[in-house]
């Protein structure tokens, strides 16, 4: 069965960076894209970007263009999302989701990132 297992919760100081991983199993990793979506407390889900797992080509939301980097390691069947220059507004649950193009059928369990001084 398809599983996406994300790395554990993180606490970061303002200005720092965070890197979240998403380990995929149960399917051919390079067949599907991987999206990253976040949900801040009381806010709607916000799409951050995605990566074509076959060729490693990322696409980013304009809202995060300057601060987010999405990569993947095909040998490890793992995708990564790194967000830099963190502020308190980046405190959120971060999800990876397997993409059939833009449709997200399977989701990771989420990684809570807390930004606090």
| Binding footprint of other proteins on the chain (CB under 8 A) | 35, 44-47, 59, 61-63, 95, 97, 101-110
The residue among 17 and 63 lying less far from other proteins, judged by its C-beta, is 63
Name the residue nearer to other proteins (CB basis): 16 or 27. 27
We find the least distance from the C-beta atom of residue 41 to other proteins, in angstroms, to be 12
Comparison of 13 and 102: residue with beta carbon closer to other proteins: 102
Taking the complex as a whole, the smallest distance from the CB of residue 2 to other proteins amounts, in Å, to 11
Q: Which is nearer to other proteins, 80 or 94 (CB)?
A: 94
Buried b / exposed e along 84-109 (16+ C-beta atoms within 10 A): eebeeebbbbbbbbbbeeeebebbbe
For residue 36, the Cα-to-chain-centroid distance in whole angstroms is 4
The least CB distance from residue 25 to other proteins, in Å, is 16
Which residues lie closer than 8 Å to 43 by C-beta, 6 or more apart?
Answer: 92
Number of residues that make up the chain: 117
- Going by their DSSP bridges, the two strands 103-107 and 46-52 should be labelled as unpaired
Q: Provide, rounded to whole angstroms, the least separation between the CB of residue 54 and other proteins.
A: 19
DSSP 8-state assignment for residue 15: T
């Amino acid at each position: 069965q398809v599983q996406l297992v994300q790395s554990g919760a993180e606490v970061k100081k303002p200005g720092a960076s965070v890197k979240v991983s998403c380990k995929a199993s149960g399917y051919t990793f390079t067949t599907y894209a991987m999206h990253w979506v976040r949900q801040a407390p009381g806010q709607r889900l916000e799409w951050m970007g995605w990566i074509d797992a076959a060729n490693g080509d990322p696409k980013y939301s304009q809202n995060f263009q300057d601060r987010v980097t999405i990569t993947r390691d095909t040998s490890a069947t793992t995708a990564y999302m790194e967000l830099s220059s963190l502020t308190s507004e980046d405190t959120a649950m971060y999800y990876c989701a397997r993409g059939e193009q833009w449709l997200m059928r399977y989701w990771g369990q989420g990684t809570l990132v807390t930004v606090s001084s």
